[in-house]
Amino acid sequence: MKKVWKIFEYGYLIVAIIFLVETVLNWTENRERAYLMLLFSALAVFMYFFRKRFRKKFENRPKK
């Protein structure tokens, strides 16, 4: 299960990179859409760090 969580963590980074590329591609044509993609990219990076922290807390909790 731990490996699956790590895969999802890196999935968030991949999604952030995709949104950054979309931001660059849409910057001159549609500035509102570019800002939206930039927001989604920042959210994906935030989720990466949040999930990573949560997973480490879960792994370090005492086992009964």
Give the tens place of pLDDT for each residue, 19-35. 999 999 999 999 999 99
Instruction: Note the Cα 16 to chain centre separation in Å.
Output: 5
Q: What is the pTM of this model?
A: 0.84
Backbone angles phi, psi at 27, to 5 degrees: -60, -45
Distance (Å, rounded) from C-alpha 52 to C-alpha 48?
Answer: 6
Q: Which tokens go with 5?
A: 């969580």
Reply yes or no on whether the pLDDT at 45 is more than 90.
Answer: yes
One-letter amino acid of 62: P
Q: Identify the residue with better confidence: 5 or 37.
A: 37
Question: Which pLDDT score is estimated for 59?
Answer: 84
Is the distance from CB of 13 to CB of 44 less than 8 angstroms? yes
